[in-house]
């Protein structure tokens, strides 16, 4: 984490925020943010706030059509009552002040004290408490109730828009409470956050496990379970949300997938696709989608799902414009079409099945494919240490496209190599996808009768094509370090079995030699000597390829 000092972290960040925006002003004593330009006389002033660490909530939502002021506390710590009191006085223009408060004890208490002080000042105020987190919902009603989490920004947007159109304080507050009552959320963490100045995460989460029902203050969840596929995670989050809202078929919602700080936009889009399918299966319409990291927990890896039951008025206010810097510039005004699940890249349709089938090639390639798939994580680890960490994923992305049963039982020898080539060229991407795709294409084009001569010719053609295309030579720490000696071994052999054994040994030795090489080609070349001591994963996969051939023979 970038810090100057843990004690100045919030102040330093606010300094940068103000410097990067045109309509936000910082009032250092006692500490609050407002719009630079005052509201029109008689308008309701909407104020929110809470502990820092949830950015862009709340400060990023100061602007016309949303918040007039924000009171930030220290990281995950409520602002104090004097901050809220002074900020409320600063933004009041005669229409009253509405506080939007997340349901945490400190927040509720300090905002409540501030309203008492405002009453003494003769300033009208009201409050909307957001309590959307179903993970802390209790059937008996005891305890502090549901925590306030991601639905807070939905309430801020709706109330801000209602205030902007000139609604009274009572009407804006009533509307806000209605939206809050119709909002529920649940979150999951893949890894915890780390607070500024700390060397330890906020909680321990073992490898291979995830935390369901976490809050936005770095706290543990309500259950810890083994890692699941995204589709299952979405069901685990959205199911309790739907149940708590008692949503029925035919109802409409705002569907909000929110990142918790360290979750990539691609992951959030993936989760939204699963949520859209989950809701469609239940007959629940998504009237408006929202995807993004708007309510974070510092650098927590995870996401939350929020659903808000809507009506026509809520949607009109949701669509109303705002110039708040963190609100999406072009928010969707309807849900898009959810297409069928499909792979990335062109589909492959085999042209040859039983004709010229070779049990040797079927076993050779089938066993090799299975080994590469089984070793995906170890290949990724090697590439993480010597490259950019995507090699294992690229291998799996290609080879998962194959019908392994047909490779083993139905496809002809040439069809097998064509299928593998097409899988790489169409689904792996990057340098590895292109080079492996071209390598296997030479086997498809050159493999006539399955014998030593045709396999040797295919391998030689593959080597020549790769070196011409990529420019790598022996000693550059690439797959060529395994291919070149294997080809030489095949060319020196007198029979197929002996040739494959020699090629397998030569390829393995070549792959092992890359451990002490400095890369001159590929992504590993960018980090120079830092890749020394690591076997090149591409060379290793080629060594496995020749080993599988030798074993199958």
Every domain of the chain with CATH number 3.30.1180.20 lies at: 183-195+203-309
Pick the CATH number of 359-552 from 1.10.645.10, 3.30.479.20, 1.25.40.340, 3.10.20.80: 1.25.40.340
Q: Which CATH class is domain 183-195+203-309?
A: alpha beta
In order along its 553 residues, the chain shows pLDDT tens digits of 899 998 899 999 999 999 999 899 999 989 999 999 999 999 999 999 999 999 999 999 999 999 999 999 999 999 999 999 999 999 999 999 999 999 998 999 999 999 999 999 999 999 999 999 999 998 777 778 999 999 999 999 999 999 999 999 999 999 999 999 999 999 999 999 999 988 899 999 999 999 999 999 988 999 999 999 999 999 999 999 999 999 999 999 999 999 999 999 999 999 999 999 999 999 999 999 999 999 999 999 999 999 999 999 999 999 999 999 999 988 888 888 888 877 666 666 665 455 578 999 999 999 999 999 999 989 888 877 766 667 888 899 899 999 999 999 999 999 999 999 999 988 877 788 889 999 999 999 998 889 999 999 999 999 999 999 888 899 988 999 999 999 999 999 999 999 999 999 999 999 999 988 776 655 454 445 555 788 999 999 999 999 999 999 8
Domain covering 1-177 in this structure, CATH number: 3.40.50.10440
Tokens at 189, concatenated: 């963490």
- End-to-end CA separation in angstroms for the chain: 54
Which part of the chain has CATH 1.25.40.340? Answer: 359-552
Q: Which residues are annotated as catalytic?
A: 217
Determine the distance from the C-alpha atom of residue 397 to the mean position of all C-alpha atoms in its chain, rounded to a whole number. Answer: 18
499-534 burial, b at 16+ Cβ within 10 Å, e below that, comes to bbbbbbbbbbebbbbbeebbbebbbbbeeeeebbeb
The Cα–Cα gap between 35 and 63 comes to 6
What are the residues whose beta carbons fall under 8 Å from the beta carbon of 330, sequence distance 6 or more?
none
DSSP annotation of 75 reads: E
Per the CB < 8 A criterion, the answer to whether 503 and 489 are in contact is: yes
Give ranges for CATH 3.40.50.10440 in the chain. 1-177
């Amino acid at each position: 984490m970038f810090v100057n000092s843990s004690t100045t972290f919030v102040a330093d960040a606010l300094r940068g925020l103000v410097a990067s925006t045109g309509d936000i002003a910082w009032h250092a004593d006692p500490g609050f943010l407002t719009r630079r330009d005052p509201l029109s006389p008689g308008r309701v002033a909407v104020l929110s706030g809470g502990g820092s660490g949830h950015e862009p909530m709340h400060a990023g939502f100061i602007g016309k059509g949303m918040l007039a002021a924000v009171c930030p506390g220290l990281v995950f710590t409520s602002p104090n009552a004097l901050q809220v009191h002074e900020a409320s006085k600063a933004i009041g223009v005669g229409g009253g002040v509405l506080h939007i408060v997340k349901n945490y004890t400190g927040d509720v208490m300090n905002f409540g004290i501030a309203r008492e002080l405002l009453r003494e000042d003769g300033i009208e105020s009201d409050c909307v408490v957001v309590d959307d987190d179903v993970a802390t919902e209790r059937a008996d009603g005891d305890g502090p109730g549901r925590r306030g989490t991601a639905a807070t920004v939905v309430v801020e947007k709706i109330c801000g828009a209602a205030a902007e159109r000139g609604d009274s304080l009572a009407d804006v507050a009533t509307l806000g409470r209605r939206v809050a009552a119709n909002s529920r959320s649940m979150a999951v963490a893949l890894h915890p956050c780390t607070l500024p100045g700390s060397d330890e995460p906020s909680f321990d989460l073992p490898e291979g496990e995830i935390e369901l029902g976490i809050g936005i203050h770095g706290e543990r969840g309500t259950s810890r379970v083994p890692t699941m596929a995204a589709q299952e995670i979405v069901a685990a989050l959205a199911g309790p949300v739907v149940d708590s809202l008692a949503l029925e078929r035919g109802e409409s919602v705002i569907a909000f997938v929110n990142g918790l700080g360290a979750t990539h936009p691609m992951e959030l889009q993936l989760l939204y696709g699963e949520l859209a399918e989950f809701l469609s299966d239940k007959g629940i319409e998504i009237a408006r989608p929202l995807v993004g990291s708007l309510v974070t927990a510092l650098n927590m890896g995870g996401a939350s799902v929020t659903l808000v039951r809507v009506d026509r008025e809520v949607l009109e206010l949701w669509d109303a414009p705002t110039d708040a810097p963190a609100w999406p510039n072009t928010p969707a005004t309807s849900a898009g079409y959810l297409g069928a699940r499909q792979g990335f890249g062109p589909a492959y349709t085999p042209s040859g099945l039983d004709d010229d089938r070779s049990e040797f090639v079927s076993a050779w390639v089938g066993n090799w494919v299975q080994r590469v798939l089984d070793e995906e994580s170890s290949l990724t680890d090697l590439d993480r240490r010597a490259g950019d960490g995507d090699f294992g994923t690229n291998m799996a992305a290609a080879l998962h496209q194959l019908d392994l049963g047909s490779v083993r039982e139905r496809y002809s020898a040439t069809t097998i190599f064509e299928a593998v080539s097409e899988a790489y060229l169409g689904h792996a991407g990057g340098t590895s996808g292109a080079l492996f795709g071209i390598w296997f294409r030479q086997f498809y084009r050159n493999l006539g009768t399955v014998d030593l001569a045709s396999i040797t010719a295919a391998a030689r053609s593959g080597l020549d094509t790769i070196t011409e295309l990529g420019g790598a030579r022996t000693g550059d720490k690439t797959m060529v370090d395994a291919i070149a000696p294997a080809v030489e071994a095949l060319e020196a052999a007198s029979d197929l079995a002996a040739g494959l054994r020699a090629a397998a040994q030569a390829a393995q030795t070549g792959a092992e030699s890359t451990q002490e090489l400095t890369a001159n080609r590929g992504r590993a070349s960018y980090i120079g000597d830092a890749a020394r001591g690591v076997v090149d994963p591409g060379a290793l996969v080629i060594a496995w390829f020749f080993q599988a051939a030798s074993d199958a023979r």
